[in-house]
């Protein structure tokens, strides 16, 4: 699994507007719908929110990784959103989030999903990488930063 292979400029938004967990998730889903990556918005939303109800996907260091499994996609899909203002996401460290990486994958495919989550977690342990992403001016720049 390579994070760069599942992202493209159509699945990166540097200016999320939402101020709640639900609004952010809806904006990220809109990205995936617009890019033609998922076929059933309601099923995708339900999968993400069912996962959030079990345990928040707000991690540490201002990052949230909302994810779920559903039949709205045939392969793992992902998107990244950056918010100019921090959003409460019930994070493990009780800090609000600004970087949001959402992924959805088919129910029957577990390997790529787990690999993606592990790669994202490792990648964003670096404060330098997080700051570079927050400072990115274009989706192309985000992809370049992730490729380094």
Could you tell me the pTM of the whole model? 0.93
Question: Could you tell me the domains of the chain?
Answer: 3-147 (3.40.930.10)
Confidence of residue 111 (pLDDT cuts 50, 70, 90): confident
85-100 core/surface letters (b: 16 or more CB in 10 A; e: else)? eebebebeeebbbbbb
pLDDT digits (tens, 9 = 90+) for 80-96: 999 999 999 999 899 99
Residues 14 and 139 sit within 8 Å (Cβ to Cβ): yes
Share of the chain above pLDDT 70, in %: 98
| Whether pLDDT at 1 is above 70 | no
């Amino acid at each position: 699994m390579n994070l760069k292979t599942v992202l493209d400029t159509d699945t990166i938004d540097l200016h999320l507007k939402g101020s709640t967990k639900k609004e952010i998730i809806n904006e990220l889903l809109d990205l995936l719908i617009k890019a033609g990556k998922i076929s059933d918005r309601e099923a995708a939303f339900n999968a993400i929110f069912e996962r959030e109800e079990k345990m928040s996907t707000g991690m540490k260091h201002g990052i949230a990784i909302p994810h779920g499994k559903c039949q709205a996609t045939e392969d793992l899909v992902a998107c990244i959103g950056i918010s100019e203002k921090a959003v409460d996401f019930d994070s493990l460290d009780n800090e609000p989030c600004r970087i949001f990486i959402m992924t959805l994958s088919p129910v029957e495919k577990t390997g790529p999903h787990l690999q993606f989550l592990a790669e994202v977690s490792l990648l964003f342990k670096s404060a330098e990488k997080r700051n570079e992403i927050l400072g990115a001016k274009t989706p192309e720049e985000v992809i370049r930063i992730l490729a380094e």
